[in-house]
Amino acid sequence: MQTTCTRRVEGMCKGSGASKMAKSLFASFPQRMPKKAVSFQKPNDAYGKEESNNSHRHMNMQGQFLEFHKAFITHSNHHVNIAPFKFDVPSPDDLVSDGLRSSKMGLKANSTDLKTSRVSSSINEKNGVLSKSSTERSDSSSALMPKGRHFSRDKSNHLENDMGNTLSSDKSSVCSPSLNLKGRNDKIDESSSSSMSGGNPQSLTNSLNKMDVNVGSGLSKNVNTRVTRSKAEYKPEKWMLPDQAEDTLTQLNLAIVGHVDSGKSTLSGRLLHLLGRISQKEMHKYEKEAKLQGKGSFAYAWALDESTEERERGITMTVAVAYFDSKKYHVVVLDSPGHKDFVPNMISGAAQADAAILVVDASVGSFEASMDGGKGQTREHAQLIRSFGVDQIIVAVNKMDAVDYSNERFDFIKQQLGTFLRSCGFRDSSISWIPLSAMENQNLVAVPSNVCLLSWYHGPYLLDAVDSLQPPTRDFSKPLLMPICDVVKLSSLGQVSACGKLEAGALRSGSKVLVMPSGNVGSVRSLERNSQACTFARAGDSVAVSLQGIDGSLVMAGGVLCHPDFPVAIAKHLELKVLVLDVTTPILIGSQLEFHVHHAREAARVVRILSLLDPKTGKVTKKAPRCLSAKQTAVLEVALQGPVCVEEFSSCRALGRVFLRALGRTIAVGVVTRIIEET
């Protein structure tokens, strides 16, 4: 049996003070005030959850989708029985690899050594159950970006709303909050940049504008004279490599993704409860409080959805983080929001996933709604997860109780979704299909007791499937790279901590680190991992790094900690290879987009479309096309409003994988094939 970790986070959250991510991850940090979450308007939001009106809601969604399609799509196949998918391009990663092999675009890329690595994201500890990160800022999640040099959130929201309204009548004003800390002990005196960033994709522009780069920052010097030493010259020290004799569980970052309302938080809460991470007493409290608010069925979800707004609305808005130990893994659960307005949060949180549980609602109508190209997030989440490099996925077919544990329904979903997942590049052998009911505790951590389910299902239960996942690969022997998802400043003590997941390399107390984009070198004062002080951290670990010898204002979310001899590039003009998703509006030269890379976000403009590629061979099929439409693969150039820390995909996947968003949707996923101009 699995060893459940009974250590409660709240019990550990004393003392120091750190970011949202840190708080969820690192028990010694004080918890932060629950944020008043983002100003998410739309009082009559069609998605607003009310208990017991789910089917009604889904019907609304379908209705809206219908309208949408009537207006913008030539064929009208919407509704309950969805047509088989024809999204037959390979996954973005496969596509990238293919393209890198065959592209003649003069790319510098090498196709070698493409190990799995991912963008890290901020995670915050919640109660014994951990937390999410801060919602203190209100942040545009999506949208076409304004053209001005200084991207303002308000403006972008505004623009998005304007644009969005022209496309879809239900478009709510989007705020895309950050990963929010949902700490239990919601008190923090110290400032934290995460209150501004929250681990959300960050625009560095404003931060950089505020920064006096010429005064002692060394920015221009370091950036302009970046030593492009080959990483092959790097020789890791012995302590940086894992010792086979170390008796520790491998950390597995497990993203819980899927359409709104599919039961992700309920499933996560149930798992944590079953595995002893939520006490009986706490569970009673959630049940009581949820009932009082007329939302009794959300009791388990409340363990993860901690903010008032999330509970009132009945939706997750930020990524919640929790831990449990299985037989094989120390599992970091990243419970993502399903609502489309919070996809940027989902990106920031799930981008560091090693594997994912895709939760689908088996109820009649709900599964179908979740698969709708226009409104359903099942497809968008699956595509995003795959493009993060995640190739192992567990499909939790939830709410089987609502379909009487029907074998036929399960097979139908498996067939429909399986076709789509294969088209995204998931191999059949890397997909596990688990019928379950989070609400009725069927097939989660033990063989189901339901007779009907037992009569036809003889496979593994969910926790078994988690243990069957392959361990993630880590770039231990490469120079340090840690995208910063969150920064905590303890002004009273003059301390600053950067939080994030090490994508490559290792750190220990005393290590010198280059803080980008400022270009300053500081050193590691101390480290915390998994709620405890530690002496070193290696690739794959999520840590809070307390820095010394550096001005706290130069450490920012969206930046990167790296090895002083191997600085990350800082650039604003990039060549990308992208896979266009199911867009209805073509991408043109001049299109304004929102560019996401690890925890950074920046307004961008398409400056050139170089070529269309054959998705299978990566060969150029057309030069200089005028526009890009759905499912096309292309090479294009973007100019960013401000610089971001970035690497070519061939040298670091986590820092070279990008997402383009507009109108509140992810419109393309891709990779950086060339840094055209370093800042």
CB of 178 to ligand GTP, least distance (A): 15
Q: Which of 18, 163, 260, 644 binds ligand GTP (CB under 6 A)?
A: 260
Identify which of 186, 180, 170 has the alpha carbon closest to the alpha carbon of residue 139.
180
| DSSP-derived secondary structure letter, 131 | B
CB of 376 to ligand GTP, least distance (A): 12
Q: Which of 316, 511, 531, 673 binds Mg ion (CB under 5 A)?
A: 316
Tell me if the bond preceding 643 is cis, omega within 30° of 0.
Answer: no
CB of 210 to ligand GTP, least distance (A): 34
Q: Which of 141, 161, 180, 437 binds ligand GTP (CB under 6 A)?
A: 437
Nearest CB to Mg ion, comparing residues 205 and 441:
441
By CB atoms closer than 10 A (0-12, 13-18, 19+), residue 218 is middle
SS3 state at 451: helix
Tell whether residue 265 is a contact of Mg ion (CB under 5 A).
Answer: yes
Tell whether residue 399 is a contact of ligand GTP (CB under 6 A).
Answer: yes
| DSSP-derived secondary structure letter, 182 | -
Nearest CB to ligand GTP, comparing residues 258 and 642:
258
CB of 32 to ligand GTP, least distance (A): 21
Tell whether residue 301 is a contact of ligand GTP (CB under 6 A).
Answer: yes
Nearest CB to ligand GTP, comparing residues 439 and 516:
439
Q: Provide the sign of the torsion angle of the four alpha carbons 319, 322, 326, 330, taken in this order.
A: positive
Q: Which of 398, 542, 641, 651 binds ligand GTP (CB under 6 A)?
A: 398
Backbone angles phi and psi of 236, in degrees to 5: -70, 150
Tell whether residue 57 is a contact of ligand GTP (CB under 6 A).
Answer: no
Residue with nearest beta carbon to ligand GTP: 338
Full DSSP string of 324-355: EE-SSEEEEEEE---SGGGHHHHHHHHTT-SE
383 binds, among Mg ion, ligand GTP, none (CB under 5 to 8 A by kind): none
Nearest CB to ligand GTP, comparing residues 354 and 401:
401
Looking only at the bridges linking them, the beta strands covering 250-257 and 355-361 are: parallel
Nearest CB to ligand GTP, comparing residues 305 and 637:
305
Tell whether residue 40 is a contact of ligand GTP (CB under 6 A).
Answer: no
CB of 299 to ligand GTP, least distance (A): 8
Nearest CB to Mg ion, comparing residues 275 and 438:
438
Identify which of 237, 11, 32, 261 has the alpha carbon closest to the alpha carbon of residue 129.
11
Binding-site size for ligand GTP (CB under 6 A) equals 23
CA 363 to the chain's CA centroid: 26
Tell whether residue 49 is a contact of Mg ion (CB under 5 A).
Answer: no
Tell whether residue 263 is a contact of ligand GTP (CB under 6 A).
Answer: yes
Residue 337: partners with Cβ closer than 8 Å, 6 or more residues away: 260, 315, 316, 317, 318, 319, 343, 345, 346
Cβ–Cβ under 8 Å, residues 563 and 234 = yes
Tell whether residue 347 is a contact of ligand GTP (CB under 6 A).
Answer: no
Tell whether residue 377 is a contact of Mg ion (CB under 5 A).
Answer: no
Tell whether residue 141 is a contact of ligand GTP (CB under 6 A).
Answer: no
d(CA 506, CA 418): 38
Annotate 588-638 with three-state secondary structure. Answer: ECCCEEEEEECCEEEEEEEEEEEEEECCCCCCEEEECCCEECCCCEEEEEE
SS3 state at 65: helix
339 binds, among ligand GTP, Mg ion, none (CB under 5 to 8 A by kind): ligand GTP
Q: Which stretch binds Mg ion (CB under 5 A): 200-208, 291-299, 315-323, 403-411?
A: 315-323
Residue 247: partners with Cβ closer than 8 Å, 6 or more residues away: none
CB of 336 to ligand GTP, least distance (A): 7
Q: Which stretch binds Mg ion (CB under 5 A): 163-171, 192-200, 245-253, 311-319?
A: 311-319
Q: Which stretch binds ligand GTP (CB under 6 A): 100-108, 296-304, 575-583, 612-620?
A: 296-304
Tell whether residue 438 is a contact of ligand GTP (CB under 6 A).
Answer: yes
Q: Which of 20, 311, 339, 340 binds ligand GTP (CB under 6 A)?
A: 339
Q: Which stretch binds ligand GTP (CB under 6 A): 204-212, 294-302, 543-551, 562-570?
A: 294-302
- Ramachandran assignment for 410, one of left (phi > 0), alpha (psi -120 to 50 degrees), beta (any other): alpha
Annotate 525-561 with three-state secondary structure. Answer: EEEEECCEEECEEECCCEEEEEEECCCHHHCCCCCEE
- Cross-strand partners of 159: none
d(CA 193, CA 203): 13
Tell whether residue 450 is a contact of ligand GTP (CB under 6 A).
Answer: no
The CA–CA distances, whole Å, from 23 to 105, 187, 197, 472 equal 45, 11, 14, 25
Nearest CB to Mg ion, comparing residues 264 and 538:
264
Binding site for Mg ion (CB under 5 A): 264-265, 316
Binding site for ligand GTP (CB under 6 A): 51, 260-266, 297-298, 301, 315-316, 337-339, 398-399, 401-402, 437-439
